[in-house]
Amino acid sequence: MSRPYNFSAGPATMPEEVLAQAAAEMLDWHGSGMSVMEMSHRGKAFMSICAQAEADLRELLAVPEHFRILFMQGGGLAENAIVPMNLSRGGTVDFVVTGAWSQKSHQEAQKYCHAQLAASSADSGFTTLPDPASWRLSRGASYLHLCSNETIHGVEFHELPDLRALGSDAPLVIDFSSHVLSRPIDWQRVGLAFGGAQKNIGPAGLTLVIVREDLLGHALAICPSAFDYRTVADNGSMFNTPPTYAIYVAGLTFQWIQRQREGDARGVAAMEQRAIARSQLLYDAIDRSEVFYNPVDRAHRSRMNVPFFLREPGPDGAAYARFLAGAEARGLLQLKGHKSVGGLRASLYNAMPLAGVQALVDWMREFERTQA
């Protein structure tokens, strides 16, 4: 039985090997006689699973020693409040708004700090990124927030800005929910990175926070203890019960990434090569087409999330319905665009094989012929 190709933006496709391993270990983890789900989070077995997951993530992303890795809950949306509660000190925070997710972050932060709009690409319909040289940076800002890959609008910062070169001492905060582990991170430019696991890692319920040690310990008094980074870090992410099963499955995914090779590249470097190959295959097919188009500035197109549209959707978008029905019949699932932008979207995360993208491109060609 072959599995369909799942292009969902999240929760999203996972490596079949990881699912098979989780299934094989479901009833009895390593001779313990227990499922990981049944284990005490403070017992030796789970503590080893958690420590290994953290060490593997640190290795994969080359996270320096002076950064802490926190396993939290609440997802990206909760972090929109938790980050300003921990880092803003109630002062000014700069936001670069480049799509739906950074827009939500900017709005939520207004409850906790003076959230300043440093730059926005709203005028372009979020189809490009504002040039960092044009950002209006506040003096003494507690941090600057950006979303390094906009999952809905399909724009990605392929290079993170160097805020020091722009004359700012503010730490950079990135929401890397939808590209984490698809490319290396330049930690010299980052103060904090956060993201939910359900896009590119594993099951929903786990939120990653990777934060520079010196940024801990400044939470506002109203910050819930369970969301105070200092408290979470001091307790090894076990101040309260962590999402144990999600951490375990994420750990299996980290090990899967460590095993991947593309030529001389391994781990995240191999993931990056595959992300480039998958996205190029799809963007090339879209750009060559007279039926489909992608509105995003080529320099800033996302390698993970590709929104695309029909030039002639027909009355009530009938052509979209036909495309989606044909896709589903071919085992190409979850290609409907986000409701706020419409059209189509293919999410091409680490677990999506190139063959899945090829199958999508084949269907697009066939659809084009029937349109003509």
Positions annotated as catalytic residues are: 101, 175, 199
The span of 123-131, 174-182, 275-283, 341-349 binding ligand PLP (CB under 6 A) equals 174-182
Report if residue 178 touches ligand PLP, rule: CB under 6 A.
yes
Tokens of 282: 């799809």
Q: Which residues participate in the annotated binding site?
A: 42, 101, 151, 175, 198, 240-241
Report if residue 205 touches ligand PLP, rule: CB under 6 A.
no
For strands 143-147 and 114-120, give the pairing.
Answer: unpaired
Among 56, 175, 228, 272, binds ligand PLP (CB under 6 A): 175
How near is the Cβ of 73 to ligand PLP at its closest, in Å?
10
Residues 6+ apart with CB under 8 A from 244: 36, 37, 39, 41, 46, 49, 50
Q: Which of 205, 291 has the CB closer to ligand PLP?
A: 205
For strands 344-347 and 5-6, give the pairing.
Answer: unpaired
Report if residue 7 touches ligand PLP, rule: CB under 6 A.
no
How near is the Cβ of 347 to ligand PLP at its closest, in Å?
9
**Count of residues in contact with ligand PLP, rule CB under 6 A:** 12
Q: Give the span between the Cα atoms of 96 and 226, in whole angstroms.
A: 28
Report if residue 77 touches ligand PLP, rule: CB under 6 A.
yes
Among 60, 68, 76, 278, binds ligand PLP (CB under 6 A): 76
**Cα 286 from chain centroid (whole Å):** 23
Q: Which of 10, 171 has the CB closer to ligand PLP?
A: 10
Q: Sort 91 into a burial class: Cβ within 10 Å, 0-12 / 13-18 / 19+.
A: middle
Report if residue 356 touches ligand PLP, rule: CB under 6 A.
no
Q: Give the span between the Cα atoms of 190 and 162, in whole angstroms.
A: 9
The residues pairing with 207 across neighbouring beta strands, listed in sequence order, are 72, 196
Nearest to 117 by CA among 138, 147, 89: 138
DSSP codes, 197-251: TTTTTSSTT-EEEEEEGGG-S---TTS-GGG-HHHHHHTTT-SS---HHHHHHHH
How near is the Cβ of 147 to ligand PLP at its closest, in Å?
5
How near is the Cβ of 199 to ligand PLP at its closest, in Å?
6
Q: Give the span between the Cα atoms of 267 and 209, in whole angstroms.
A: 20
Q: Which of 146, 344 has the CB closer to ligand PLP?
A: 146
199: amino acid identity, one letter: K
The string over 33-45, giving b where at least 16 C-beta atoms fall within 10 Å of a residue's C-beta and e elsewhere, is: ebebeebebeeee
Map residues 133-172 to x or -, x wherever contact with ligand PLP holds by CB under 6 A: --------------x---x---------------------
How near is the Cβ of 208 to ligand PLP at its closest, in Å?
11
Map residues 94-133 to x or -, x wherever contact with ligand PLP holds by CB under 6 A: -------x--------------------------------
Q: Give the span between the Cα atoms of 60 and 107, in whole angstroms.
A: 33
Q: Which of 76, 251 has the CB closer to ligand PLP?
A: 76
DSSP codes, 112-150: TSEEEEEEE-GGGTS-S---GGG--PPTT-SEEEEESEE
Among 68, 106, 145, 199, binds ligand PLP (CB under 6 A): 199
Among 15, 75, 130, 132, binds ligand PLP (CB under 6 A): 75
The span of 44-52, 70-78, 126-134, 218-226 binding ligand PLP (CB under 6 A) equals 70-78
Phi, psi of 295 (to 5 degrees): -85, 0
The span of 11-19, 50-58, 173-181, 339-347 binding ligand PLP (CB under 6 A) equals 173-181
| Interface positions with ligand PLP (CB under 6 A) | 10, 75-77, 101, 147, 151, 175, 177-178, 196, 199
